[in-house]
Amino acid sequence: MIGDDDWDSFFDPDEFGCEVRLVVGTDVIEIQGMLAAPPEPSHLRQGTRTQGGVRAKPAERVLQIANRALPDDWPDRRIEIDIGHFTATEAIPIGRLRTGLVLVPYSERTESHAEWLRD
């Protein structure tokens, strides 16, 4: 059976992986991950992921990381990888050992999520 340590070679930047920095303020967590290939436009479907479809944006990427490396405050952290800075909008379980973070290009937030609804 595949265990946590077996995925380390996939996440190794010298193999298939990449260096990942999870940043909030001055707190930085450095881990390794693996980018999934961007989806082909012909493979995109309508609907939400829970309905069996995909909500996709052209610049959206999926970063796979080990479950053990995912901090509880991942939604608050900026994700820095070699191709740019991103915000994780969703965490998708991939089996029992990995999580896919859905990434969109990072931009500074001026309001907390849904705070604009209170106005």
Report yes or no on whether pTM surpasses 0.85.
no
pLDDT band at residue 42 using 50, 70 and 90 as cut-offs: low
Q: Residue by residue, what is the 3-state secondary structure of 3-69?
A: CHHHHHHHHCCCCCCEEEEEEECCEEEEEEEEECCCCCHHHCCCCCHHHCCCCCCCCCEEEEEEHHH
Other CB atoms within a 10 A radius of the CB of residue 17 amount to 20
83-117 per-position pLDDT tens digit: 999 999 889 998 888 999 999 888 776 655 555 45
Distance of CA 55 to the CA centre of its chain: 14
